[in-house]
């Protein structure tokens, strides 16, 4: 697993936690906009607006991939306002940690 975090403080925290928990992941301190992503799964939490995520996904990721986006209570509104969503298959799931939050699971096939 690769975790991208450009903030030195946050990437240091992720490295420490990864080591403590013995996780098999690599922390990459880099801006996600400047790398090619060679994964079939992308997970975003508190990252950017949905339209921005879709642009990065289209330009930086492998052809077919799944995006899991943890969003707040306005997830459906953001989906409705994003014209590109009509080109994707997605489903909206309830969060188990917050009754108001939603999870967008999107396929780019």
Q: How far apart are the first and last CA of the chain?
A: 22
Residues with Cβ < 8 Å from 45, sequence gap 6 or more? 69, 70
Q: Tell me what pLDDT residue 101 has.
A: 92
Q: Give kind and range of the element (H or E) at residue 55.
A: helix 50-60
Q: Which of 31, 41, 86, 33 is nearest to 62 (CA)?
A: 41
| Phi/psi of residue 44, nearest 5 degrees | -125, 135
Helix (H, G, I), strand (E, B) or coil at 69: strand
Going along the chain from its start, the domains and CATH numbers come out as 1-30 (no CATH), 36-107 (3.40.50.150)
Tens of pLDDT, residues 38-88 = 777 888 877 778 888 888 777 777 677 888 889 988 888 888 888 777 778
What does pLDDT average to over the chain? 84
């Amino acid at each position: 697993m690769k975790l991208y975090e450009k903030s030195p403080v946050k990437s240091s925290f992720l490295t420490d936690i990864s080591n403590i928990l013995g996780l098999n992941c690599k922390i990459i301190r880099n801006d996600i906009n400047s790398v090619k992503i060679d994964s079939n799964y992308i997970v975003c939490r508190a990252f950017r607006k949905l339209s921005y995520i879709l642009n990065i996904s289209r330009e930086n990721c492998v052809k077919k991939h799944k995006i899991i986006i943890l969003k707040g209570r306005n997830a459906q509104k953001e989906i409705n306002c994003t014209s590109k969503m009509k080109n994707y298959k997605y489903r909206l799931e309830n969060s188990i940690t917050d009754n108001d939050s939603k999870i967008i699971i999107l396929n780019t096939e």
